[in-house]
Structure 1
Amino acid sequence: MIDLVIDQRRKDLGGFEVGRVLPFAKRRMVGPFIFFDHMGPVELAAGIPRSVDVRPHPHIGLSTVTYLFEGEIMHRDSVGSEQPIRPGEVNWMTAGRGITHSERFEKARAKGGPMHGIQAWVALPEADEESDPGFWHHGATDLPVIEEDGLWARVIAGDAFGLSADVRTHSPMSYVHCALQPGARVTVPADHPERAAYVAIGTVEVQGGRFSEGQMLIFAQGGAVDIRAVTPATLMLLGGEPVGPRFIEWNFVSSSKERLEQAKADWRAGRMKLPDLDDGEFIPLPGDPPPPANPMS
């Protein structure tokens, strides 16, 4: 049964648009998933300005996973990682007590090309909110895939369809990329108490209703849900065990409002290390004055 349908809200990030899905006023989280953005699809022109890049910024209390259908993003962070993010790969960054990172469109700047993908944030359980930060990269061929009757599915993180991804998570969850041919079906099992399906491409049918790209379907607890593709369709299936309510402000997530205030103070005071392999730029705390102009930007 469908409890709620969330339509993406388009936001211009100064170079391309994203569709914000979570958090939503009537549904803040799905399992541990607290943030869900649909990037693009967009065709970026060669020579795009550096202002399109996401300059270094901080996180606490969460893990991020950037998953691309098309394009490439260069990731750099304060634990020393420098990793191109490419389609079908999992790039799992755990902020814990604090991490900073940048996301830059260097390949598109040099050659032009498409950009299309999903960025999600997963809230950490309270016991892990102050864990050590880290970054883990998993190639597309390292992740389990199933193919049957017009359905192709890759398990990005957690467990699904009897398969488990070798991606370090902190709470029971499921995150799956599905591609369906017209008429093909996928059944969302009742493995987790909170579950959703996001239509990234195409149109699907669920319980007699039709739903199209940009819509997230939130399912009621209990009972498997059958999804049929009306057109070629790409879905993201997500869910898991709830980790409890969370506060979210800017790029910070925590079970404590006081911890959010400490993170804001730390960022404002320059106490959070920037990526060594980046160029020293950073995004100021919203409401703060911008940093001095960087002559290299």
Structure 2
Amino acid sequence: MDATPSLIENPRLHDLGDGFVVRRMLPVLLARHVGPFVFYDHMGPADFAPGKGLDVRPHPHIGLATVTWLFEGSIRHRDSVGSLADIMPGAVNWMTAGRGIAHSERTPPDARKSGQRMHGIQVWVALPREYEEVAPEFHHHAAETLPRIRKPGAELVLIAGTAYGSASPVRVFAPMFFIEAHLEAGAEVPLPEEHAERGVHVVEGEVSWGEVALSSTQMAVQAGPFAPVVRARAASRVMFFGGAPLDGERHLWWNFVSSSSERIEQAKADWLAQRFGKVAGDEEEFIPLPA
């Protein structure tokens, strides 16, 4: 990354079934990570018919924290430390995998029965090396606990990290920011100055970031001591994210993130031997280790 925002071209598309498409924005060759963000998916929007829904069977993670930020819909989270939570729009459900956790993500029964529209963002945040093996945790933060920041023509929700003199209650392990911004046409918003690496993702609408024009579902990334202002060319919903550079490269394989390739191999063996523990309430199924 350099001081001029760079557009991420042609994100990979994954169809998870029933028309539920995920755009894999990170990692890409241009940006393996932005601050601690090593994985960024834009999910949907998609409409599930009655009786249909999301079914991500139990699977493992190490070395990262995950958050699913929903605009519409709901997802039931269960994990191997006993957590049960329905992820709803505007709330943060932050899972720190650390030394190892397994979890599942499924449409709750009532939403499956009636059908629902699903739309959101899922990110993985790499943990600093000193915290890669912390105990796994899961924390829920209600929408009303998150800082709301108002600027001329803009309202921002600070999902995690620090920005504009505010701090989210979500426990993070390195300097970062993750923001949902609603911008009126013509609004101009500077990005947080204290973070060296930054990304802008347009969920809906159209913005300019320096010389780069971004429309719906597009992302650009940038690094350096200064960042251009984001200007809304139309009413827009935009995600701002980034943070301090990672303390070294990370290996990513399947659902595992680590600074050590040997640790990835150990995680593979642990999942094969079912040493991650069972997901409470979802013990019958699991996703096998990929060949």
| Normalised-by-shorter TM-score class | over 0.9
Q: C-alpha offsets along residues 243-279 of structure 1, whole Å, 9 cap, x if unaligned?
A: 2200000000000000000100110111111211224
The letter for the 1-side match of 2:128 is P
Of the three residues 172, 177, 182, the one matched with 1:179 is 182
CA apart distance, 1:83: 0.2
* Residue aligning to 1:268: 272
Q: How many residues align?
A: 285
* Residue aligning to 2:137: 134
The letter for the 2-side match of 1:286 is P
Identity across aligned pairs (percent)? 52
Of the three residues 48, 60, 79, the one matched with 1:44 is 48
Contact kept, 8 Å, 1:206 with 1:228, in 2: the verdict is: yes
Of the three residues 231, 235, 244, the one matched with 1:232 is 235
* Residue aligning to 1:90: 92
* Residue aligning to 2:103: 101
* Residue aligning to 2:165: 162
The letter for the 2-side match of 1:73 is I
Q: In the TM superposition, what are the counterparts of 1:238-277 in structure 2 within 5 Å?
A: 238-243=241-246, 244-277=248-281
Of the three residues 272, 277, 282, the one matched with 1:278 is 282
The letter for the 1-side match of 2:164 is F
RMSD: 1.3
CA apart distance, 1:208: 4.1
Contact kept, 8 Å, 1:63 with 1:92, in 2: the verdict is: yes
Of the three residues 22, 28, 31, the one matched with 1:27 is 31
Contact kept, 8 Å, 1:42 with 1:116, in 2: the verdict is: yes
Separation (CA, whole Å) in 2 of partners of 1:196 and 1:67: 16
Which secondary structure state, in structure 2, belongs to the residue aligned with residue 188 of structure 1? coil
Separation (CA, whole Å) in 2 of partners of 1:237 and 1:29: 14
Separation (CA, whole Å) in 2 of partners of 1:118 and 1:19: 10
Q: TM-score by structure 1 length?
A: 0.93
The letter for the 2-side match of 1:153 is L
Change (3 A) 1:201 1:45: same
Unaligned runs of 5+ in 2: none
Contact kept, 8 Å, 1:181 with 1:232, in 2: the verdict is: yes
Which secondary structure state, in structure 1, belongs to the residue aligned with residue 225 of structure 2? coil
Contact kept, 8 Å, 1:157 with 1:166, in 2: the verdict is: yes
Separation (CA, whole Å) in 1 of partners of 2:48 and 2:7: 30
Contact kept, 8 Å, 1:44 with 1:108, in 2: the verdict is: no
Separation (CA, whole Å) in 1 of partners of 2:268 and 2:56: 19
Contact kept, 8 Å, 1:189 with 1:223, in 2: the verdict is: no
The letter for the 1-side match of 2:186 is G
* Residue aligning to 1:218: 221
Which secondary structure state, in structure 2, belongs to the residue aligned with residue 2 of structure 1? coil
* Residue aligning to 1:290: none
The letter for the 1-side match of 2:50 is A
* Residue aligning to 1:6: 8
The letter for the 1-side match of 2:254 is W
Which secondary structure state, in structure 2, belongs to the residue aligned with residue 285 of structure 1? coil
Change (3 A) 1:153 1:140: same
Which 4+ residue blocks in structure 1 deviate beyond 3 angstroms?
A: none
* Residue aligning to 1:111: 114
Q: C-alpha offsets along residues 74-118 of structure 1, whole Å, 9 cap, x if unaligned?
A: 000011110000001111000000000000012431111110000
* Residue aligning to 1:81: 83
Q: TM-score by structure 2 length?
A: 0.95
* Residue aligning to 1:295: none
Contact kept, 8 Å, 2:65 with 2:127, in 1: the verdict is: yes
Separation (CA, whole Å) in 1 of partners of 2:28 and 2:243: 18
Separation (CA, whole Å) in 1 of partners of 2:30 and 2:228: 21
* Residue aligning to 2:59: 57
CA apart distance, 1:185: 1.8
CA apart distance, 1:209: 3.6
